[in-house]
Each structure stands twice: as C-alpha cells, then as structure tokens.
Homo-oligomer: A and B are copies of this chain.
Amino acid sequence: MATVPLVEYEDAPAEVRAVYDDIMATRQVTWVNNFWKALANDPASLKRTWESLKQVMAPGALDPLTKEMLYLAVSVANGCDYCITSHTAAARKAGMTPAMYAELMAVVGMASETNALVSGYRVEVDEALAKAAKG
C-alpha cells in the first residue's frame, strides 16, 4: 500500500493533467503508471521530475535501449522492485532481447561481486588507471 493516494486523471487538476498528457504522448501509451500518480500529490515535483526524465532519456549520444538498460542496471543495484519492473518492461519494449537481458544481468551480478571484493581488500587505484579514466 502506497503512503500517498494515487491521483487519477479524472480527479487531477489541470497542471497534473498536462503532465499526464505529455507522458502519454511522449511514450505513445494511453495510460499513466502509478509512479506518476503518486508524485502528482505534489504537482511541482511531478512536473520537475518528468521534465528531467524526459530530457535525460531522450535519444542523444546513447540510443534509447542503452539508456533503458543503464536505468535497469542501476535499479537492480539499488534493489528498487518497482523500478526494476518498470524498466525491465521499458527495456523490452525498446528492443532488449532475452539474450541481451541475460547478459545485462550477468554484468550486473559480476560488477556487484567485484565491487565488493575491491572495497573489501581496499585496493588502491593504479596511477595508470586514474589517468586513463580521465580521458
């Protein structure tokens, strides 16, 4: 049970409806998912978060599928169930095949393992890596 009521389209004030309309138009869907209905209790947060998300997820140097897969990987690392579900759905819609999904998950798992090993042994950064990271 959410900690706030979900704001349905028919009960929403105009400024919320405007965001809902933009979400549906941008994503070419006919409904709005619960995350936005929860955020809509604070129309300013709804608008700001949607505008940021729309800008960040728009195609650019990275294609939409890569962006969705990155979003999913972070959501798994953070253990956010809702986010994992919604971005698995979005990544599949954007073209993630079962084989790509399995490889994504294997990378996330492997990264989690080596992250722990590196932190645990307190491995110092190689100077050459630090330089290469800076580009």
Report which A residues bind B (CB closer than 8 A).
1-5, 31, 33-35, 38-39, 41-42, 44-45, 48-49, 52-53, 55-57, 60-62, 66-67, 69-89, 92-93, 97-126, 128-130, 132-135
In the assembled complex, how far is the CB of residue A126 from the closest CB belonging to chain B, in whole angstroms?
A: 5
Copies of this chain in the oligomer: 6
Complex Cα gap A129–B76 (Å): 16
A134 neighbours in B (Cβ, 8 Å): 1-5
User: Which of B41, B53, B84 contacts A110 (CB under 8 A)?
Assistant: B53
Q: Smallest CB-CB separation from A100: which chain B residue?
A: B61
In the assembled complex, how far is the CB of residue A27 from the closest CB belonging to chain B, in whole angstroms?
A: 12
In the assembled complex, how far is the CB of residue A64 from the closest CB belonging to chain B, in whole angstroms?
A: 11
Q: Is the CB of B111 within 8 A of A76?
A: no
Q: Is the CB of A83 within 8 A of B115?
A: yes
User: Which of B35, B57, B121 contacts A117 (CB under 8 A)?
Assistant: B35
In the assembled complex, how far is the CB of residue A79 from the closest CB belonging to chain B, in whole angstroms?
A: 5
Q: Smallest CB-CB separation from A5: which chain B residue?
A: B134
For this complex, 23 residue pairs linking A to B, each with C-beta atoms less than 8 Å apart, are A3-B85, A3-B135, A4-B98, A4-B101, A33-B128, A38-B117, A41-B102, A49-B114, A52-B52, A52-B113, A56-B103, A57-B107, A61-B102, A70-B70, A70-B111, A71-B107, A74-B77, A79-B80, A80-B118, A82-B124, A87-B111, A108-B117, A108-B120
